[in-house]
Amino acid sequence: MKKQYPKGRYLVSGGAGFIGSHLCERLIENECEVIAVDNFITGRPENVKQLLGNSRFSLIEQDIIHSLKISGNLTGIFHMASPASPVDYAKLPIETLHVGAIGSDNILKLALEKKCPILVASTSEVYGDPLQHPQEESYWGNVNPIGPRGCYDESKRYMEALTMAYHRVYGLPTRIVRIFNTYGPRMRVDDGRVVPNFCMQALAHEPVTVYGDGSQTRSFCYVADLVEGLMRALHSDYTRPINLGNPIEMTISQFAQKIINLCHSRSTLEYRPLPQDDPKTRRPDISLAKKVLDWQPQVDLESGLQRTVEFFKEKSQRPVS
């Protein structure tokens, strides 16, 4: 049985995104009222179409770099808005920096106005190409601020600093979560990350492209587990950064082969040069989340990937409009 949380009225920035839409759905299931805000730069209206007929759900199309006017009280805010894949922030570096800086400031001001707790979605990318493994929250990271990934890494690092400043100066009840690789249905086909890439290539029996020699490692958390962690974090009283992710680690080559097997595919692996500043390892230390939130992932990789493959299978079979 899913844990119940305080009912109320919540705002979710980036609510039509991959993770944001699952979060909105979970809040609605919890009988909350939800206001989703999205400019659809990477989010999709179709991600929340199943919620549009619900009287407790509303959707505002707006870029949060412009100040938000929300009437009435809010129980809490989840700040999820940002391009989040290398493909997206390579195309949208300035927008990525703006939403991390200006957009975050606007959302924090709104939380201050509404006197409500706010959770900001940071990322494992704040650790850069880490020299510590696994990564724990006390690690300051190894980031190239002017590299091709710097726009995302630094926007999130700035957002964390800004969030802590609001907490220290105004006593705002803030929560910071560092999200590690998350996967599941509603990821975009053209997202550019390994899960949609590998699934679509394997389903088409095309070569599965692995960057580098495939020995770099990742750990993958199913989206429902991540959303549960977000809910617990907002309703905790812990104000410092906390990792959310799955600590089970594997190489990219192993992960690609697992998807090929699940897709019953004839695909083989094709190796390409590793992009600049691509992290060699990525695995969260979730000791803090276990202790503070009583949280750890519940969905095993096989089950989560099976659901995800089914989603992409349906996508691959849809006629092109």
Could you tell me the residue range of the domain that residue 108 belongs to? 9-315
Neighbours of 229 (CB within 10 A): 24
Give the separation between CA 255 and CA 258, rounded to whole angstroms.
Answer: 5
> Does the residue 75 lie in any domain?
yes
State the CATH number of the domain containing residue 308.
3.40.50.720
The answer to whether residue 1 sits within a structural domain is: no
Q: What is the pLDDT of residues 255-265, one digit of tens each?
A: 999 999 999 99
Tell me how many domains the chain contains.
Answer: 1
What would the two tokens of residue 209 be?
């492209």
pLDDT tier at 318 (50, 70, 90 boundaries)? Answer: low
Residue 320 lies in a domain: no
Using DSSP, state whether 51 is helix, strand or coil. helix
Is 92 part of a structural domain of the chain?
Answer: yes
Res. 321: pLDDT tops 50: no
pLDDT tens digits for range 114-158:
999 999 999 999 999 889 999 999 999 999 999 999 999 999 999
65 domain residue, yes or no: yes
pLDDT band with cut points at 50, 70 and 90 for residue 2: low
pLDDT for residue 277 is more than 90: no
Q: Is residue 201 part of a domain?
A: yes
DSSP lists the bridge partners of residue 12 as 36, 78
Quote the DSSP letter at residue 96. H
Write the pLDDT tens digit of every residue in 206-248: 999 998 888 888 899 999 999 999 999 999 999 999 999 999 9
**Residue 320: per-residue pLDDT:** 43
CA atoms within 13 A on the CB side of 200: 16
Query: pLDDT tens-digit profile of 21-59?
Result: 999 999 999 999 999 999 999 999 999 999 999 999 999
- By annotation, the residues acting in catalysis are 152
Any domain includes 276: yes
C-alpha 260/C-alpha 270 separation (Å) is: 13
Determine, yes or no, domain membership for 3: no
